[in-house]
Structures are given as structure tokens and as C-alpha cells.
């Protein structure tokens, strides 16, 4: 998809954002913007806009055992992947 038009690029971004999983919430059902879970969710969302991938499975890096972001389509965490 290297020859993508501006319009379809924005459509795709909107599509991905529209499909992003909800942020983690506290017991009142509100996002807890100060929580570590929310920080992690933001990282996952940033990667999701690049990969369009999401899984609800808990997966771990096959090299360092770090928990993988839910939007990471590979078996390797970002820091091992960039080594
Ligand atoms: Zn790793």
C-alpha cells in the first residue's frame, strides 16, 4: 500500500482509531489517567496505529520474557526487536 492516496490514508487512520480498544478503567468505569495500566495502554495504542494489530492474549517476548504489548504482532518485544 505504498501508493495510498491522502484520503484513504486518513480513512485508514480514522478506521484504526475507531476500532481501538477502550482504555483500562477503574472500579467506577472511568479511565485512570494516572495509572501504570493507562500508560501501557497509551504505548499499545501508539503501536496499534502502526500495526493495526490487537490481541487479548497475554504474550511474552521469546527473548527476554517481558510482557508484549497487545498491539505487537511479533513474538519479540520492541527493545529486543530493535537490537
Ligand atoms: Zn524482549
User: Does some domain include residue 68?
Assistant: yes
Q: What is the pTM of this model?
A: 0.69
pLDDT digits (tens, 9 = 90+) for 14-64: 666 676 778 888 889 888 899 999 999 999 999 998 998 999 899 999 999
With beta carbons less than 8 A apart as the criterion, state whether 24 and 41 touch: yes
- pLDDT score for 71: 94
Q: Could you give the CA distance from residue 28 to residue 81 in angstroms, rounded to a whole number?
A: 37
How close is the Cα of 58 to the center of ligand 1, in Å?
14
User: Does some domain include residue 63?
Assistant: yes
- What is the pLDDT confidence band of residue 7, given thresholds at 50, 70 and 90? confident
How close is the Cα of 74 to the center of ligand 1, in Å?
11
| Number of domains the chain contains | 1
Is residue 1 over pLDDT 60?
no
Cell digits of residue 49:
496505529
Query: Domain of 79?
Result: 32-83
Cell digits of residue 58:
497475554
User: Does some domain include residue 49?
Assistant: yes
User: Does some domain include residue 80?
Assistant: yes
How close is the Cα of 15 to the center of ligand 1, in Å?
30
Q: What is the 3-state secondary structure (H, E, C) of 22-64?
A: CCCECCCCCECCCCHHHHHHHHHHHHHHHHCCCCCCCCECCCC
User: Does some domain include residue 53?
Assistant: yes
Amino acid at each position: 500500500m505504498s501508493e495510498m492516496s491522502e484520503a484513504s490514508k486518513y480513512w485508514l487512520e480514522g478506521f484504526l482509531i475507531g476500532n481501538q480498544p477502550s482504555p483500562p478503567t477503574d472500579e467506577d468505569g472511568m479511565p485512570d489517567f494516572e495509572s501504570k495500566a493507562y500508560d501501557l495502554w497509551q504505548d499499545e495504542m501508539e503501536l496499534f496505529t502502526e500495526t493495526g494489530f490487537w490481541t487479548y492474549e497475554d504474550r511474552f517476548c521469546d527473548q527476554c520474557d517481558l510482557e508484549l504489548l497487545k498491539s505487537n504482532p511479533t513474538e519479540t518485544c520492541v527493545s529486543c526487536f530493535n537490537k
